[in-house]
Structure 1
Amino acid sequence: MSAVTRLPAWQALQQRIDTALNTPIKSLFDDPARCGQYTLKVQNILLDISKQPIDNDTFGLLLQLAAEVDIESRREAMFNGQHINVTEDRAVLHTALRNRSNTPVYVDGEDVMPIIEHELKRMRVFVKAVRSGRWRGYSGKRITDVVNIGIGGSDLGPRMVTQALKPYADDRIRVHFVSNVDGVEIANVLRELNPERVLFVVASKTFTTSETMTNAQTARNWLMASSFDSRAVAKHFVAVSSNVAAVKAFGIKPENTFQMWDWVGGRFSLWSAIGLPIALYLGFKQFEELLQGAHEMDLHFRHEPLNSNAPVWLALTTLWNSTFLGRQSQAILPYDWPLARFSAYLQQAEMESNGKSVDSHGQPVPYGTGSIIWGQLGIDGQHAFYQYLHQGNAVVPADFIGSIESSTPVQGHHEKLMANFFAQTEALMCGIDADHVRTELAAKGLDEARIEQLIPHKVHEGNRPTNSLILDRLDPRTLGALIALYEHKIFVLGSIWDICSFDQWGVELGKTLAKGILPELEEGVLREGHDDSTASLMTYFIEQRRALKARE
């Protein structure tokens, strides 16, 4: 038995599963204090977990469990730079990147805040030079387009934030993103651009990531085809990497290389120079507002008691649904168009962090960890998969995210959007029973036989859990707080499950195998060691490629 499953609170929570599954959530609102008791306002974000299958006794036990695994000490260990990434023996300090108070943060006895501030100053100078037109391309023309070349956290974070904060951008710089090694993506991006006016940001900690370097080399060749001069690379490429030698060999000057550190994981890195496209697009002041919002959430998470701590609340709702009630799928449903890529961003952040099956000591865990994170913009999702949410056999907890005020107001639109937000959370919890369906259909004049036939199809059982997050307005500071809220939720869950949330060895295996397979595809000769299925598929691919080339 795992150590966490032996804790008193865990044992007591196991005894409450049947109660939760057999108690309608809407019946919990017989307590008139429930709404206020299960609502928190942090910065510009209201968090309401009242539509969860959690009564007062269960919530008390969940908080007790968080205390019993000593979340407070684990939290301090992270903020203080201890090596909580145990499998890679590293600190985890994305919080230091946005430490706007500039208080010392030590890693192995060294205060890292001076190097962080130094890098931020370099970013500020560079961003101002590009946006003002002082930094120019090889032909003397100003930069109008930035292409970020990266993958995973080097892509998802900047891509999500630039879309979310588009209303705060001016027309000085357009941003584009290339992540997939499929050549269609980079071809489509480059087709519309003028090589004399493009700046490429190549984001790779090692500067050896296969997908990123393949795309970077294609971009370099494209530029060279226009400039006919390798020196043009220095005017059109900058790097975010820790491998200065490889960057220099590519043709990028060391002074145009921005630093990454091993105590920042890719999926938590948008606060670093990985966020350079964000700053180039929005201006550095807006980027600092993003950092400030995240820092304020850090302070809340670090200092607020567990019973009034928003990331803890968010984590405990997921823990209860996934680990105890067996609901391991979770939908993220923004009712705010700029957050269209937020669910994809959280998909990596949470699934890459907590998709683990062994604990921090390498022992198999006997309980479910992680959640299948997915989602889409709310209104679009209503016409796609909400049928499954309302009447499917599987219960899918969902986070609904909306705003009081649109970042781009258009008369008559936002009220309709939020009407759907409120209606969906109410419908998911309350459903509609047979009596209501019968009354509704009778009022439409249907005969009794037809009514009885339709009732099973129109009944909604309800009792589907949701969280509601309502932002005052989606601006840079609020977005920073929202992202940090979910980051800390991931940390809390990993701490309770006693897993390492900051490695990603599962990602590495497929990449390693791909490196070995690539020469086989290029040479058209299979080596031994593949399973029969893979060997058969590779053989088919090679033979069909040969046939296509023979017909050309």
Structure 2
Amino acid sequence: ARTFEGLLYDFTRVRLDQPTLALLLQVAEDSGIMAQRDALFAGASVNLTEQRPALHMALRCPEVLNAVGGSEAERVRAAMARLFQFADSLHAGQLPPAAQEQVTDLVHVGIGGSLLGPKLICEALESETASLRVHFLGSVDALPRERLLASLNPATTAVVLVSKSFTTGDTLLHGRRLRSWLTSALGEQGAQQRLFAVTSQIERAASFGIAAERLLYFSDWVGGRYSLWSPVSLAAAARMGSERFRRLLTGAAAMDRHFQQAPLGDNLPVLAALISVWHRNVCGYGAWGCMPYDQRLRLLPAYLQQLIMESNGKSVRADGTASALQTAPVVFGETGTEAQHSVFQALHQGSDVVPQNFVAVARPDHSDQEAHAELLANMLAQMTALAAGRDEAATREALGSMPDALLAQRLFTGNRPSELLMLDQLDPEHLGRLLAFYEHRVFCESVLWGINAFDQWGVELGKTLAPDIQTALEAGNNVGQGLDELLAHIHRLRR
């Protein structure tokens, strides 16, 4: 096990002995992880296909932003200052920038990286004293939006549209509907005062009708799934207040420095990446579970799904050649004891071995010590059962005599690996360290696999096909591509 500033990483229950770990550390050194890490922090174009750096660390780590330098660094500082100003105004229930109108509700509209991170930190660091209510809209499905708007007062509601490119169809459709809803109640000027945008494409947001004083910028070298540290998290920062959001950034910056400075054998992200690659490529495990034993972290599995699978779910190496290795596993997860009553049957006795990543908090923020002890005991019991199992002799001793056919159902093979990440407590600093740990782990995996963790071309093809299909749906036409029978069925039901 290793520790860093209130974060315990226990990997004693993975099938990995010390000689093998030493060999893996040599693999890490030979793969150039240290040189690639230094290039990442120096602002090299590590995103080769888009010829961009990946400097999301600059949003939280002053040394990295200083290295960016020049006008771009000043632009980032100004954007973060505006984020903090707007967050505090909204937190106090006042509409920025003039703070002359009341705000009771803030609607955050975004999808993917423009939603998952902000929603996670907003829930994980829920403020009991905040009066501002925050709502999230993601999928283009209209029903959640219509139900939400039916509960809101447009005169006390603000809307923030979050899209790096400001071309995201889901976000812009919601944006048009919300703008119309505000305009019909408040007029054009009143609606404009309550519309905000966060984007790297300021001109597109302005063309949509967002006033310059309500635009928040973030750089195009911040990938969507790495953007929660930026003004993308305006809604979360407004809910918790800028002081707590700054503490989140401080915690993440501490993990940045650990990743840069710690020897490989004590470097938490490096060790976690080596274990992940060992499981994927040597043991052949094709899935990976995240099980947070704290309800406040219930959105962590969805966040990690995107972080891991969109970053490293690729079969082509950075140099354009096919990967000879399996890359990102399928990621899933559920909170604590709920998972024990759903997926854990397969994890204990299924035909596939699936490594588990348990996440827990040692000190709760409530007074029911018995409940917290039961929660942690359940987690530790699952870890022990996965690792040790129960053989025939132990089963007969525990359960008594039974027919062989029934005995076979009660055996546990064990040798099913798990890791534990234990936070001393769940506060902004600890959460920042945890999320930055996962980011750097994913980067190290990408180096070991020789792939680019910072592009996502796999999401593009479906988006290019959708407009023609939508046109056919709306017009009652066919579009080919094997969809005509399905379209005909939909057309019949829509008449």
On whether the aligned pair clears a TM of 0.5, the verdict is: yes
Provide Cα deviations, 1:330-370, integer angstroms capped at 9, x if missing partner.
00000011000000000000000000001011111111001
- Once residues 96 and 416 of structure 1 are traced to their aligned partners in structure 2, the CA distance between those partners, rounded to angstroms, is 40
Q: How does 1:86-101 map to 2 (within 5 A)?
A: 86-101=48-63
For 1:466, the aligned partner's letter is S
Provide Cα deviations, 1:97-119, integer angstroms capped at 9, x if missing partner.
1114566223xx84743222211
- Once residues 249 and 169 of structure 1 are traced to their aligned partners in structure 2, the CA distance between those partners, rounded to angstroms, is 38
- Once residues 198 and 263 of structure 1 are traced to their aligned partners in structure 2, the CA distance between those partners, rounded to angstroms, is 31
In 2, are the aligned partners of 1:233 and 1:252 still within 8 Å (CA)? no
- Provide the residue aligned with 1:265 in structure 2: 223
Match status 1:149 vs 2:98: no
Match status 1:324 vs 2:286: no
Paired residue secondary structure (2:3) = strand
TM-score by length of 2: 0.97
Q: What value does the CA root-mean-square deviation take over the aligned residues?
A: 1.7
Match status 1:118 vs 2:70: no
- Once residues 434 and 452 of structure 1 are traced to their aligned partners in structure 2, the CA distance between those partners, rounded to angstroms, is 10
CA 476–76 in structure 1, closer or farther in 2 if over 3 Å, else same: same
- Once residues 235 and 147 of structure 1 are traced to their aligned partners in structure 2, the CA distance between those partners, rounded to angstroms, is 14
- Provide the residue aligned with 2:255 in structure 1: 297
- Provide the residue aligned with 2:329 in structure 1: 371
- Provide the residue aligned with 1:193 in structure 2: 152
- Provide the residue aligned with 1:490 in structure 2: 442
User: For 2:29, which of 62, 67, 71 is the aligned residue?
Assistant: 67
- Once residues 451 and 334 of structure 1 are traced to their aligned partners in structure 2, the CA distance between those partners, rounded to angstroms, is 38
Provide Cα deviations, 1:51-109, integer angstroms capped at 9, x if missing partner.
01001111111111110011000001100000000011110011111114566223xx8
- Provide the residue aligned with 1:531 in structure 2: 481
Paired residue secondary structure (1:473) = coil
TM-score by length of 1: 0.87
- Provide the residue aligned with 2:338 in structure 1: 380
Match status 1:85 vs 2:64: no
User: For 1:220, which of 158, 167, 179 is the aligned residue?
Assistant: 179
Match status 1:348 vs 2:291: no
- Provide the residue aligned with 1:173 in structure 2: 132
- Once residues 326 and 159 of structure 2 are traced to their aligned partners in structure 1, the CA distance between those partners, rounded to angstroms, is 42
CA 40–240 in structure 1, closer or farther in 2 if over 3 Å, else same: same
- Once residues 473 and 319 of structure 1 are traced to their aligned partners in structure 2, the CA distance between those partners, rounded to angstroms, is 29
In 2, are the aligned partners of 1:100 and 1:292 still within 8 Å (CA)? no
User: For 2:170, which of 211, 218, 229 is the aligned residue?
Assistant: 211
- Provide the residue aligned with 2:294 in structure 1: 336
For 1:242, the aligned partner's letter is S
User: For 2:38, which of 59, 68, 76 is the aligned residue?
Assistant: 76
Q: How does 1:436-451 map to 2 (within 5 A)?
A: 436-442=394-400, 448=401, 450-451=402-403
- Once residues 199 and 244 of structure 1 are traced to their aligned partners in structure 2, the CA distance between those partners, rounded to angstroms, is 19
In 1, are the aligned partners of 2:94 and 2:103 still within 8 Å (CA)? no
Match status 1:131 vs 2:131: no
> Which moves more between the two structures, 41-50 or 403-412?
403-412
In 2, are the aligned partners of 1:137 and 1:236 still within 8 Å (CA)? no
Q: How does 1:468-479 map to 2 (within 5 A)?
A: 468-479=420-431
Q: How does 1:228-239 map to 2 (within 5 A)?
A: 229-239=187-197
- Once residues 454 and 490 of structure 2 are traced to their aligned partners in structure 1, the CA distance between those partners, rounded to angstroms, is 36
Paired residue secondary structure (2:361) = strand
> Which moves more between the two structures, 486-495 or 232-241?
232-241
CA 466–267 in structure 1, closer or farther in 2 if over 3 Å, else same: same
- Once residues 411 and 493 of structure 1 are traced to their aligned partners in structure 2, the CA distance between those partners, rounded to angstroms, is 38
For 1:74, the aligned partner's letter is Q
Paired residue secondary structure (1:338) = helix
Provide Cα deviations, 1:207-258, integer angstroms capped at 9, x if missing partner.
221000011111111112222x111122211100133233223332111100
In 2, are the aligned partners of 1:343 and 1:374 still within 8 Å (CA)? yes
Task: Structure 1: give runs of 5+ residues left out of the alignment.
Answer: 1-38, 443-447, 547-552
Paired residue secondary structure (2:275) = helix
- Once residues 137 and 205 of structure 1 are traced to their aligned partners in structure 2, the CA distance between those partners, rounded to angstroms, is 22
Query: 1:525: how far off?
Result: 1.7
- Once residues 242 and 461 of structure 1 are traced to their aligned partners in structure 2, the CA distance between those partners, rounded to angstroms, is 52
- Once residues 166 and 280 of structure 2 are traced to their aligned partners in structure 1, the CA distance between those partners, rounded to angstroms, is 37
- Once residues 304 and 128 of structure 2 are traced to their aligned partners in structure 1, the CA distance between those partners, rounded to angstroms, is 23
Provide Cα deviations, 1:298-330, integer angstroms capped at 9, x if missing partner.
000011111110001111111001111110200
Provide Cα deviations, 1:350-401, integer angstroms capped at 9, x if missing partner.
0000000010111111110011110000110001110000000100000011
For 1:161, the aligned partner's letter is I
- Once residues 373 and 231 of structure 2 are traced to their aligned partners in structure 1, the CA distance between those partners, rounded to angstroms, is 38
Provide Cα deviations, 1:457-489, integer angstroms capped at 9, x if missing partner.
000000000001111001011001000000000
- Once residues 28 and 325 of structure 2 are traced to their aligned partners in structure 1, the CA distance between those partners, rounded to angstroms, is 16
- Provide the residue aligned with 2:405 in structure 1: 453
CA 194–137 in structure 1, closer or farther in 2 if over 3 Å, else same: farther
CA 102–95 in structure 1, closer or farther in 2 if over 3 Å, else same: closer
> Which moves more between the two structures, 122-131 or 92-101?
122-131
In 2, are the aligned partners of 1:105 and 1:111 still within 8 Å (CA)? no
Query: 1:432: how far off?
Result: 0.4
Match status 1:404 vs 2:366: no
Query: 1:278: how far off?
Result: 1.3
- Once residues 200 and 294 of structure 2 are traced to their aligned partners in structure 1, the CA distance between those partners, rounded to angstroms, is 36
In 1, are the aligned partners of 2:89 and 2:99 still within 8 Å (CA)? no
- Provide the residue aligned with 1:521 in structure 2: 473
Larger Rg: 1
Paired residue secondary structure (1:346) = helix
- Provide the residue aligned with 1:308 in structure 2: 266
- Once residues 470 and 148 of structure 1 are traced to their aligned partners in structure 2, the CA distance between those partners, rounded to angstroms, is 31
- Once residues 416 and 120 of structure 1 are traced to their aligned partners in structure 2, the CA distance between those partners, rounded to angstroms, is 42
CA 146–509 in structure 1, closer or farther in 2 if over 3 Å, else same: same
For 2:494, the aligned partner's letter is R
- Once residues 531 and 287 of structure 1 are traced to their aligned partners in structure 2, the CA distance between those partners, rounded to angstroms, is 48
CA 139–294 in structure 1, closer or farther in 2 if over 3 Å, else same: closer
- Provide the residue aligned with 1:503 in structure 2: 455
In 2, are the aligned partners of 1:290 and 1:479 still within 8 Å (CA)? yes
CA 139–86 in structure 1, closer or farther in 2 if over 3 Å, else same: closer
Query: 1:134: how far off?
Result: 4.2
CA 48–138 in structure 1, closer or farther in 2 if over 3 Å, else same: closer
CA 295–136 in structure 1, closer or farther in 2 if over 3 Å, else same: closer
Paired residue secondary structure (2:46) = coil
Provide Cα deviations, 1:171-224, integer angstroms capped at 9, x if missing partner.
321111000101012112222111111111100122221000011111111112
For 1:162, the aligned partner's letter is C
Match status 1:160 vs 2:160: no
